[in-house]
Structure 1
């Protein structure tokens, strides 16, 4: 057992994609032969995978447009590589991999969801209808696992919790970054909030901007830095202008120096309506940043209330604002203690090396069980 294919919907700079890339790289370094397949044309990690010698394929699908031809394309890639494990990620790739299995031999198929909300009833019915075509479904938070059981997307005996992992070596407290990045961005001694994520509806930046604008009315000595791109950027920038907050909220777009930006910030905030297990919260914890997060999905599994941060109600600007103000009212020493608690927590539970070993154990158990089942069938 040494060949694996990862299939995912697309490759851009988002949490689920980052996790798949870390798994692919980690397994390759441990001696696996790894391929990555993106259903739509990838827009990130292409050079990184190429430099490491990991083959990347695309099915060249169009976003939002079903294309049955993708089944045959995927079938051909699988036949040529002949993997021991196929591991799909996110709803579209999970369903595609399961359907494709009808037409090609796949020794073990693992499906991973990355949220407690991948869509409505139709998608949950698709999961249920194709469940027999995979060995196991996993999700990235305990909350999400329970949600999928309740929605009857997966039976309780065929779904398990496997958390995201983080490379802790990439995220360390660095005082030089604090000075350099603040100088680059024109920041002085203001209290700096950092938010990282796609500018899409689920991240609910509208509520965050509203909450932060209320803080500025009481304390103008603060900034909100938003990192990410998405279809709502122009709308959000217009909303910021309507509130006359241009001097307090800065949009940076895509950045590849997230660890340095975290080192230059005083606290992290995430305002999502729903989540799985946000990589950015693990990264903020590893960077010793105290956090304010909406209490959805796996957020509450990472942010320990009053220990490493505060939890706020989703879609509730007054509550989010109150929790952010509570954070700002702490002394620097109190926030430092919170940050250190956060790093200790992720070190104990979310180190990527431990997560990769766990995946190897899962793959091995499934592969052996499948081989034993085939042997029983042959004997009978």
Structure 2
């Protein structure tokens, strides 16, 4: 193998609209722009409204193993082996637990110089394994098939070490990246979107973005927002995302009498503009990894209120760029939201801009791509025959 050959194959469980998926798109497009040959493989069929089209528009081939969610498939393993033989990547870089394990297993069928596995959750629990301890055991038993495992949050890194999921010399922390230019503040774009949505300029607008699933704990957010409305009755909350709990959450909003104050926007492709239209961002998650959406919100110059879970404290500087509160505590969440709302406008804007500076310094796409290229080159060099 020659170091002049630069081909990377990304493998991910699915290509929907989530943080891990967004990260793969960013890395794939960024590496292609730097001269790498890049292809992407999704274990399950990509979502019709997911990022497949964005990759295709950048001339990055996307393949599907046509596997069913949560069901092992020998045919899927063979399909991946065939794709590896055809593309001959120097690096197979997997994202999310099931893809991480598949990348290791396929090494029994086809030679791959370098296999890298990235975990995107602080608490890794595979659908088939039931507990974090069991998941760590599976990682540990297959660790010899992987050259390097990375975690996107420091807390996740520490949990992997404590659970002995990976040998210390095979584990690194590499954060998620954010496209600073795409999420740059733009008040004019924000005002245009407010007009489209019928939101007045002086309405304080909160934004929440994320799947309507248990992990995001929207019930706590809605309870907190009902308290916020007692002091700011004209405030609005936009919720962008879809998921299995949508019907249940809509019913809750109705039972709390929030129908005119909370708007479900569904799956949106204009999240950057939504962020530019908002005054502040809120996240009520019960658990997280390193949330892309928080990086994007800070990059847009928004102050953030978020629960102190996962890698959130690595993004939000409590008291400087926003506020962190305990999870499952509607009262604390409401109090923090009110703190931001009562700040003078110039102080609130300054808080958001400090967040952008923090993200630009540590999580810019350029900085993270530099890290990945260095890691790939380092691992590839070890496989070069003298």
Counterpart-to-counterpart distance in 1, 2:353 and 2:277: 16
CA deviation profile, 1:336-380 (whole Å, cap 9, x unmatched)? 1101100111111111012111100000001112336xx5xxxxx
Deviation at 1:218?
A: 2.7
The number of residues matched between the two structures is 373
Counterpart-to-counterpart distance in 1, 2:282 and 2:157: 24
Deviation at 1:68?
A: 2.2
Deviation at 1:333?
A: 0.9
TM-score (norm 2): 0.95
Counterpart-to-counterpart distance in 2, 1:274 and 1:68: 32
Residue among 251, 266, 278 paired with 2:291: 278
Name stretches of at least 5 consecutive residues in structure 1 with no aligned partner.
376-380
Q: Report runs of 4+ in structure 1 exceeding 6 Å deviation.
A: none
**Match of 2:194?**
182
SS in 2 for 1:86: strand
Residue among 2, 7, 13 paired with 2:11: 7
**Match of 1:94?**
100
Deviation at 1:70?
A: 1.3
Equivalent pair of 1:9/1:38 in contact (CA under 8 Å) = yes
Residue among 311, 321, 327 paired with 1:314: 327
**Match of 1:378?**
none
Q: Does 1:290 align with 2:300?
A: no
**Match of 1:250?**
263
Deviation at 1:290?
A: 0.4
Residue among 106, 111, 120 paired with 1:114: 120
CA deviation profile, 1:133-180 (whole Å, cap 9, x unmatched)? 000100111111001111221122211100111111101211212221
Map 1:1-380 to 2 at 5 A: 1-43=5-47, 44-119=50-125, 120=131, 121-188=133-200, 189-371=202-384
- RMSD value, Cα: 1.0
Deviation at 1:223?
A: 0.7
Counterpart-to-counterpart distance in 2, 1:118 and 1:232: 22
Equivalent pair of 1:177/1:261 in contact (CA under 8 Å) = no
Equivalent pair of 1:225/1:250 in contact (CA under 8 Å) = yes
Deviation at 1:49?
A: 1.6
**Match of 2:128?**
none
Name stretches of at least 5 consecutive residues in structure 2 with no aligned partner.
126-130
SS in 2 for 1:237: helix
